[in-house]
């Protein structure tokens, strides 16, 4: 157990900040203070939708019981950090005395993007990021018959599912040719489009927002699209991505780009100041990742990594092979490694879709070496460990398909499709199916 | 404390109105119940027998139509929208009302059956029990009892709501097969077969013919009257006795080793069957608090110690009575029990000491000390009663406090308030034994899928056994918990495909092969 007395101050009680606090506490008894303006306790941002849909209450999306924080001696402060003064090593709050730090961790997350759309400040127009956003949506819901969602990504489709669950009509404006077209190849995107429509969402692809119209009380009353259409609505959800939430750091001397600039050790340009999670921006991208990674588990890994460093074991951020997951209404999605919407150089893609149109996989591999590059899975669960090993050891697509049974993670008794998938693969990608040790 | 936390989800969401079909189905079902109510209050009906079947058909049809009109129009998938907004499933007025009605039903069943129309001292049945006479004569050749009525209603609930569950989870084959299994075991093994066997063997005394209902859940299996009845029950009696013993000592340990306790708790058991079907809308109400878990571990092991004691005491008295012709003597039995329990406890301590939690250690120690100790005292002092307590007394206390009050009144009556598995979680001694084995000697585990967990909490919320599944999943650890009944709902509701119920090699059961770097095994308080 580390006996240091250095005070660690963490701005943000999201997954990154809280993971840091927990991991440091496992190794050290030094004082830790977590500051957040959003909520008293850590909650799972990813689960906000389920509270709105009535699957859970807010208390259920808080992963730790309230006694946990005191018992583990992690100090929680509810306040907004207005300024960081690195010269005297303290953070200033909107509601109290400044808090001095020895080590400062910035884990302030993101905020929704807005692109200066006319009318974006009207009542009834919102993003979906914070607990307050959810409360605002809750407040707007009773009078809402129809809502328009702008931005065809992960949060947009969650919003569609949320509003639909409350029997609110939804028009979903997507700029690309299909849902999440910037990430998904067109076949998968098309499959999700169908599923969105099956849920009675009015999906409009290749459509952009032009402006939001107001009524006499400054409430949103309609949106106008670039197709010249005017859609009546009471709620407008802007879900076109997020950007790091770092405005309060302007002028602090901490180097900022899109996010807080960090090196692989998650250190900023200022000694004893670190940044992790959604708000951190790597000077240089790690493998094919983005410089700003706004996903749950990277925040978690950064938190774990930084805790090592803070406890005296300076460790670089090494997230390993990429993975992610989501759920589009009823269709689960998992991805391991990289599958691009259009194949890159030397890359071939194999696509299989179940005749029912709700299950699909796409595998990308190198056409020269046949090295497996990545997989998209829809409606079939896959084993993370399997693909982590495949990707780390750079095994071939043939090895993967031979051992495909081992990759399956669907519940017992589910129908399996390995044979269908292999047969389909062999047809156009035959090359080899020899026994080859996994 | 953050008070807004609670108001958030209660902020009056759009009412989840019933559609016309749903309203119709509720009306049909209530009509069936209304006919039962008329019978209960002795309203004289013409064509009484016909009305009985009409009522049964109406209730089942009501459930059927309700299920079809609720789920058929929705694409297959998880159907938990509005669970926390509906009065019935969120401890609202309807939830409380249902809880009170169910509780009263059990109170009458156990202690005041005469108000349900049970004829006392040879009198004819009246009221609701009398209403069921025709069906009872048809099936088993006797007049109905309150337990027959209960059996019919119980079976209807499992079959009817089982159908609803099948539709609700029509995208999930594990759920479907498991539910068909509990429906089958209830309808066939618990209900029809025993009734028909009774009819075919009119002369032999009563004993339980439900072969799946094993000791210690069926706590009277080794009671003197039951043993006598089986011993005097000809081939059938002998079969039931031997099968019952085989269930306890061979079939159950083997199946639990290969599949975990789920083979019983969520595939076969009648209590589990009701919880999984009629109880499904209440599964999320189980408390996930650490304190509830602490309480659970003490209460369930206490019940286990009690039933072992009671059974040994009763058997001891039974064998001590020269009037009973048996294969073994009292002394042989005592020695057998001492050896058996000592071996079990020794094996657990020697091989699995590291995996035992404190409460389990205490339980085992308590079992060891009380059982072995008191048997020896009695043995050496030549007393007739074990433990210096009259075994009949012990047995009737157990029957009242555990068999009736706990498993019935609280176990089912409190579904809408404490979730559907109150009994299974806090009381069932069968679950305690299977759980101990599941934790220590089984291939079953719930595998966590690497680093995919987003800590959303669906798994924990919908775990009817109150297991905080997320606490393991978010660390990348597998879930190996004695209380898990393997219902598979956590895996079903997980939006990220993180959980999988599996049987596999015992040695990598616990392995947290986390993809994230959290590999050191230091844990935090809480
Ligand atoms: C609706 C939704 C669904 C999502 N679903 C997924 C998913 O399924 N999978 C996935 O991988 N990712 C998902 N994400 C993204 C994921 O939630 C984020 O990547 C992750 O929560 C970021 O964690 P963080 O700790 O970096 O920041 P945050 O969780 O944003 O935490 C930052 C905290 O700091 C506080 N804060 C900021 N500035 C200040 C200040 N000046 N003073 C005081 N406090 C401050 C904020 O209020 C906030 O509470 C989702 C995001 C949203 C919004
Ligand atoms: S842990 Fe999962 S499978 Fe086990 S009882 Fe809970 S919900 Fe069912
Ligand atoms: S439901 Fe799945 S993602 Fe959510 S907390 Fe449980 S395991 Fe994690």
Span A272-288, pLDDT tens digits: 999 999 999 999 999 99
- Cross-chain residue pair A63–B12, CB shorter than 8 Å: no
For residue A315, being part of any structural domain is answered with no
Question: What's the CATH code of the domain at A417?
Answer: 3.30.390.30
Same domain (yes/no): A350, A411? yes
The whole domain housing A418 covers 323-428
Same domain (yes/no): A263, A172? no
Any ligand 3 atom below 6 A from CB of B78: no
For residue A120, being part of any structural domain is answered with no
For residue A138, being part of any structural domain is answered with yes
Give per-10-residue mean pLDDT for chain A (438 aa).
87 98 96 98 98 98 97 98 97 96 98 94 97 98 96 96 97 97 97 98 97 97 97 97 97 97 98 98 96 96 97 95 97 98 96 97 96 98 96 96 96 96 90 56
For residue A316, being part of any structural domain is answered with no
- Cross-chain residue pair B8–A301, CB shorter than 8 Å: no
Same domain (yes/no): A301, A327? no
Q: What is the pLDDT of residues B366-424, one digit of tens each?
A: 778 877 777 777 766 666 666 556 777 888 888 888 888 888 888 899 999 999 999 99
Same domain (yes/no): A149, A294? no
Q: What is the pLDDT of residue B32?
A: 97
Q: How far is A53 from chain B (nearest CA, A)?
A: 5
- Sequence-distant (≥ 6) Cβ neighbours of residue A252 within 8 angstroms: A83, A84, A85, A86
Nearest CA to ligand 2 atom 4: B484
Interatomic CA distance for residues A186 and A177, integer angstroms: 8
Nearest CA to ligand 1 atom 35: A12
Same domain (yes/no): A232, A169? yes
What tokens appear for A24 in the block? 């440091």
Residues of B in contact with A166 (CB under 8 A): 13-14
DSSP per residue, B244-262: HHHIIIIIHHHHHHHH-TH
Q: Give the residue from A240, A255, A283 where a domain finishes.
A: A240
Question: What's the CATH code of the domain at A301?
Answer: 3.50.50.60
Same domain (yes/no): A129, A236? yes
pTM for the model stands at: 0.95
Same domain (yes/no): A275, A206? no
CA-nearest of B198, B193, B190 to B144 is: B198
Query: B7: pLDDT confidence band, cut at 50, 70 and 90?
Result: very low
Query: B313: pLDDT confidence band, cut at 50, 70 and 90?
Result: confident
Nearest CA to ligand 3 atom 3: B453
Q: Where are the domains of chain B?
A: 19-73+112-203, 207-442, 443-508
Strand (E) or helix (H) holding B46: none
pLDDT tops 80 at residue B16: no
Q: What is the pLDDT of residues B111-138, one digit of tens each?
A: 999 999 998 887 899 999 999 999 999 9
Same domain (yes/no): A328, A395? yes
Q: What is the pLDDT of residue B326?
A: 74
Hey, is B515 helix, strand or coil? coil
Q: What is the pLDDT of residues B444-483, one digit of tens each?
A: 999 999 999 999 999 999 999 999 999 999 999 999 999 9
Which fold would CATH assign to domain B443-508?
A: Alpha-Beta Plaits (3.30.70)
Please name the residue of chain B whose CA is at the shortest distance from the CA of residue A136.
Answer: B8
Residues of B in contact with A385 (CB under 8 A): 449-450, 513, 515
- Sequence-distant (≥ 6) Cβ neighbours of residue B332 within 8 angstroms: none
Residues of A in contact with B516 (CB under 8 A): 297, 300-301, 304
Q: What is the pLDDT of residue B1?
A: 35
Q: What is the pLDDT of residue B521?
A: 44
Q: What is the pLDDT of residue A434?
A: 56
Interatomic CA distance for residues B158 and B274, integer angstroms: 5
Query: B8: pLDDT confidence band, cut at 50, 70 and 90?
Result: very low
Q: What is the pLDDT of residue B364?
A: 80
Residues 194-233 of B with CB under 8 A from A: none
Long-range contacts of A366-372 (CB under 8 A, 24+ apart): A369/A396, A370/A396, A370/A397, A370/A398, A370/A431, A370/A432, A371/A395, A371/A396, A371/A397, A372/A337, A372/A396, A372/A397, A372/A399, A372/A400
Q: Give the residue from A240, A257, A287 where a domain finishes.
A: A240
Query: In Å, what is the CA distance from B260 to each residue of B39, B438, B443, B446?
Result: 44, 5, 7, 10
Tell me, yes or no, if B522 comes closer than 8 A to chain A by beta carbon.
yes
Query: B175: pLDDT confidence band, cut at 50, 70 and 90?
Result: very high
For residue A179, being part of any structural domain is answered with yes
Number of domains in chain A: 3
């Amino acid at each position: 157990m580390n006996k240091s007395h250095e005070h660690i101050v963490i701005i943000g009680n999201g997954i990154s900040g809280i993971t840091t606090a927990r991991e440091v506490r496992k190794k050290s008894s030094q004082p830790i203070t977590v500051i957040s303006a959003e909520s008293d306790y850590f909650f799972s941002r990813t689960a906000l939708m389920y509270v709105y849909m009535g699957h859970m209450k807010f208390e259920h999306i808080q992963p730790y019981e309230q006694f946990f924080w005191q018992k583990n001696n992690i100090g929680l402060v509810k306040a907004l950090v207005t300024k960081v003064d690195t010269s005297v090593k303290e953070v200033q709050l909107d509601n109290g005395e400044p808090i001095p730090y020895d080590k400062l961790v910035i884990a302030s997350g993101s905020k929704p993007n807005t692109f200066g759309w006319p009318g974006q400040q009207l009542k009834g127009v919102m993003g979906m990021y914070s607990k307050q956003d959810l409360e605002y949506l809750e407040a707007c819901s009773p009078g809402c018959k129809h809502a328009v969602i702008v931005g065809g990504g992960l949060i947009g489709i969650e919003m569609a599912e949320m509003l639909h669950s409350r029997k609110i009509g939804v028009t979903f404006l997507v700029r690309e040719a299909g849902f999440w077209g910037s990430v998904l190849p067109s076949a998968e995107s098309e499959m999700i489009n169908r599923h969105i429509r099956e849920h009675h969402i009015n999906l409009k692809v290749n459509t952009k927002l032009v402006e939001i119209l107001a009524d006499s009380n400054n409430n949103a009353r309609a949106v106008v699209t670039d197709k010249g259409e005017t859609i009546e609505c009471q709620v407008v959800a802007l879900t076109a991505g997020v950007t790091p939430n770092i405005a309060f750091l302007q002028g602090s001397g901490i180097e900022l780009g899109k996010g807080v600039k960090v090196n692989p050790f998650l250190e900023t340009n200022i000694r004893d100041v670190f940044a992790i999670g959604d708000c951190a921006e790597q000077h240089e991208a790690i493998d094919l990742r983005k410089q700003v990674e706004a996903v749950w588990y990277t925040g978690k890994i950064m938190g774990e990594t930084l805790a090592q460093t803070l406890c005296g074991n300076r460790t670089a951020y090494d997230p390993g092979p990429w993975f992610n997951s989501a759920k589009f209404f009823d269709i689960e999605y998992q991805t391991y490694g990289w599958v691009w919407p259009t194949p890159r150089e030397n890359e071939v893609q194999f696509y299989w879709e179940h005749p029912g149109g709700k299950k699909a996989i796409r595998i990308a591999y190198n056409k020269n070496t046949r090295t497996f590059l990545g997989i998209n899975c829809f409606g079939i669960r896959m084993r993370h460990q399997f693909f982590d090993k495949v990707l780390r050891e750079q095994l071939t697509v043939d090895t993967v398909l031979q051992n495909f049974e081992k990759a399956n993670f669907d519940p017992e008794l589910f129908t399996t499709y390995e044979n269908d998938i292999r047969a389909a693969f062999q047809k156009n990608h035959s090359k080899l199916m020899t026994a080859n040790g996994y | 404390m953050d008070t807004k936390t609670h108001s958030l989800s209660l902020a009056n969401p759009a009412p989840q109105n019933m559609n016309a079909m749903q309203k119709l189905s509720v009306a049909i079902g209530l009509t069936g119940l209304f006919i039962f109510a008329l019978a209960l209050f002795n309203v004289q009906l013409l064509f009484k027998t016909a009305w009985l079947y009409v009522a049964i058909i109406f209730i089942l049809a009501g459930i059927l139509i309700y299920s079809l009109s609720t789920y058929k129009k929705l694409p297959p998938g998880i159907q938990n929208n509005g669970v926390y907004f509906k009065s019935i499933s969120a401890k609202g007025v309807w939830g409380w009302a249902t809880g009170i009605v169910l509780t009263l039903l059990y109170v009458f069943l156990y202690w005041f059956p005469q108000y349900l129309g049970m004829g006392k001292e040879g009198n004819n049945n009246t009221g609701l029990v009398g209403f069921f006479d025709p069906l009872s004569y048809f099936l088993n050749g006797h007049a109905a009892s309150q337990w027959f009525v209960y059996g019919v209603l119980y079976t209807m609930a499992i079959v009817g709501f089982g159908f609803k569950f099948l539709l609700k989870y029509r995208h999930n084959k594990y759920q479907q097969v498991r539910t068909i299994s509990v429906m089958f075991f209830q309808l066939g093994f618990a209900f029809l077969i025993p009734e028909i066997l009774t009819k075919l063997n009119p002369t032999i005394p009563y004993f339980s013919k439900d072969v799946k209902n094993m000791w210690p859940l069926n706590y009277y299996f080794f009671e003197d009257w039951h043993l006598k009845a089986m011993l005097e029950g000809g081939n059938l009696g002998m079969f039931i006795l031997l099968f019952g013993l085989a269930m306890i000592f061979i079939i159950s340990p083997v199946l639990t080793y290969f599949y975990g306790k789920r083979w019983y708790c969520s595939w076969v058991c009648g209590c589990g069957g009701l919880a999984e079907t009629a109880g499904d809308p209440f599964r999320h109400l189980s408390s996930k608090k650490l304190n509830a878990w602490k309480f659970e571990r003490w209460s369930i092991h206490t019940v286990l110690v009690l039933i072992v004691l009671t059974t040994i005491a009763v058997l001891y008295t039974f064998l001590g009575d020269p009037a009973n012709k048996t294969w073994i003597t009292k002394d042989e039995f005592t020695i057998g029990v001492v050896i058996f329990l000592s071996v079990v406890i020794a094996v657990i301590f020697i091989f699995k000491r590291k995996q035992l939690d404190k409460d389990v250690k205490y339980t085992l120690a308590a079992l060891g000390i009380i059982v072995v100790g008191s048997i020896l005292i009695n043995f050496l002092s030549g007393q007739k009663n074990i433990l210096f307590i009259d075994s009949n007394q012990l047995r009737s206390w157990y029957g009242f406090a555990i068999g009736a009050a706990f498993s019935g009144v609280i176990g089912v009556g409190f579904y809408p308030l404490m979730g559907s598995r109150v009994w299974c979680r806090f009381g069932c001694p069968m679950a305690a034994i299977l759980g101990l084995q599941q934790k220590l000697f089984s291939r079953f585990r719930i595998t966590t899928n690497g680093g995919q967990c987003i800590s959303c909490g669906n798994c924990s919320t919908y775990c009817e056994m109150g297991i905080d599944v997320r606490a393991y999943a978010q660390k990348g650890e597998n879930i190996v918990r004695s209380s898990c009944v393997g219902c598979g709902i956590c895996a079903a509701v997980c939006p990220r495909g993180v959980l999988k119920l599996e049987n596999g090699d015992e040695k990598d059961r616990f392995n947290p092969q986390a993809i994230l770097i959290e590999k050191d095994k230091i844990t935090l308080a809480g």
